[in-house]
Amino acid sequence: MNVVSRGVKNAFRSPLRSGAIVLMLAISVGLILSMLVARSSVNAKIDQVKATAGTNITISPAGVMGFSGGGNYLTAAQVASITKTSHISSSVSDLSDQMSTSDTSLTPSLELGNFGARMQRFDSNSSSSTATSTSTASSDTSSTAATAETRPAPTPRTSVTGTTDPNSVSTDGSNLKLTSGLTIDGNSSSLVALVGNDLATKNSLTVGGTFTAYGKTITVSGIFKTGNKFQDSGIIMPLATVQSLTSQSGSVSSVIAKVDSSSNVSSTVTSLKSTLGDKADIVSQAETAAASVSSLEGIASLALAGVIGSTIAGAAIVLLAMIMIVRERRREIGVIKAIGGTNRKVIGQFVTEALTLTIVGAIVGLALGVVVSGPMTNSLVSSSTSSTSSSDRTGGPSGFARRGFGQIGTNITQITSSVTPAIFVSAIGITLLIAIIGSAVPAWFIARVRPSEVLRSE
């Protein structure tokens, strides 16, 4: 019987002990594979998060918040300087407006409520004319009472969004969902619009129907539904169309600029602030993206520590098992050497035995790792990113939820785990390393066994 066959046979001389060793090795190898899969998946997700999450920068006129505040619209020149800024890969420009019943044939579908009523309780022209007509020689008290009595009742308005990308109005980070019809080209100047589901229902509008806005006839290209009451009560038109209809050529109320990587967001914000000065408010989610990446990097480090720890544990299992086996078979080793067995042959036999146990354990462990790697990765990600996900919020200065802002929490929890050939080869390589490390010390012990001493002691 040659060295290899004898080593394989000896590996199972004690079935109970061999089974225990194989089981412990299987758990160790399974954990190694699972941690390798987790680390690979998380590293891939880190690259994806850096390229997608937290890369949006919102630029709006200084002092403007939705339809409130002051400030001047961004100009075409300022928008051009934004798009030319280094690391900005794309941008979406919006112009928000509100139509009163005198501007459109549409009946608003959004009820004001006490909040909306306070925001629109009267316009400046009505207030001014009322104040003038009641500014007589009467006392201040009677003048104030007369003004309050003559204030016009607040009226609902219909929101209008002119945009270069209709998908920017989506509230969940995906493309705008149309219930019927086709989307519009945000870069055109056509008299077309996407109408919110609530507004379309209120006015019995269907695809192909028309309504008037700012004295022009607008064709309904599609009906959209976001699930957001405000959004679904408005209309979306191409940016140039709204600029033309409202006589605001080149004006923009918000720009969403996408940076090529979250790593460049901070420097891009600094550059934009230098270019635009105090004329614009600039907001980014670089901190949120950094927190997301930091959380994922922590998982990757934990997975690497798991791989190292499992490798050490596996090597220790083989090492201790082989030391025990060598000590038990010390007499057998002495006899083999006495009848002409060389150190190389004896060591080869025990290394083969260690490899056999390790390979059997690895086969079971790799199968186990394939099964548990997905759930283990998802468990690590879920537990480490729940706080980051819950702290994420959507929206921007203009009051609209912006595409990409709401996906940070979602991105970092949707990690696809898969055992690639490279990971499998790495796991096998580590398994062989375990066998080599676990056999090295026993081999040294074997080399030091002297046949004469062993036989004399016996």
**Type of residue numbered 152:** P
d(CA 427, CA 31): 10
Exposed, middle or buried by CB within 10 Å (0-12, 13-18, 19+), for 174? Answer: exposed
pLDDT digits (tens, 9 = 90+) for 138-193: 444 444 444 444 555 567 889 999 999 998 887 666 788 999 999 999 999 999 99
Q: With DSSP H G I counted as helix, E B as strand and the rest as coil, what are the percentages for the chain, rounded to 5?
A: 60, 15, 25
| 53-106 pLDDT per residue, tens | 667 888 988 887 666 667 789 999 999 999 999 999 889 999 999 898 889 999
pLDDT given for residue 136 in this prediction = 39
What is the distance between the alpha carbons of residues 223 and 233, in angstroms, rounded to a whole number?
11
CB 52 within 8 A of CB 403: no
* For residue 126, pLDDT beyond 50: no
Which pLDDT score, from 0 to 100, does residue 46 have?
A: 76
Q: Quick check: pTM over 0.75?
A: no
Residue 181 gets the label, from left (phi > 0), alpha (psi -120 to 50) or beta, of left
Please enumerate, as own/partner, the contacts of 138-145 that have beta carbons within 8 Å and a separation of 24 or more: none
Q: What amino acid is encoded at 43 in this protein?
A: N
Tokens of 320: 């201790």
Residue whose pair of structure tokens reads 């290394």 in the numeric block = 351
Position 34 scores a pLDDT of 83
pLDDT for position 272: 92
Report pLDDT for 391: 40
pLDDT band at 204 (very low <50, low <70, confident <90, very high): very high
Partner residues linked to 59 by β-bridges: 255, 282
Residues 112 and 157: beta-carbon distance below 8 Å: no
The two structure tokens encoding residue 69: 């505040």
Is the alpha carbon torsion for 102, 108, 111, 115 positive or negative? negative
Q: For residue 29, give both structure tokens.
A: 């190898």
Dump pLDDT digits (tens) for 403-424. Answer: 444 444 444 444 555 677 788 7
Residue 282 and residue 104 in contact, taking contact as beta carbons nearer than 8 Å = no
422, two tokens: 């490279």
Quote the CA–CA distance of 232 and 247 in Å, as a whole number: 25
- Residue 391: strand, helix, or coil: helix
Nearest to 236 by CA among 188, 174, 203, 201: 188
Interatomic CA distance for residues 163 and 239, integer angstroms? 4
The answer to whether 239 and 163 are in contact (CB under 8 A) is yes
Question: Of 388, 143, 430, which Cα lies nearest the Cα of 290?
Answer: 388
Rounded CA separation 118/444 (Å): 87
In this predicted model, which residue has the larger pLDDT, 286 or 264?
Answer: 264
392 in Cβ contact with 51 (< 8 Å): no
For 334-355, what is the mean pLDDT?
78
Tokens of 121: 């309780």
Beta-bridge mates of residue 290: none
Encoded amino acid at 418, one letter? S
Q: Determine the pLDDT at residue 119.
A: 61
For residue 168, the model assigns a pLDDT of: 84
Average pLDDT of the chain, as a whole number: 77
* Average pLDDT for 274-301: 79
Q: Locate tokens 């100047």: which residue?
A: 189
> Of the candidates 160, 159, 169, which has an alpha carbon nearest to the alpha carbon of residue 237?
160
pLDDT tens digit string along 206-232?
Answer: 999 999 999 999 999 999 998 888 889
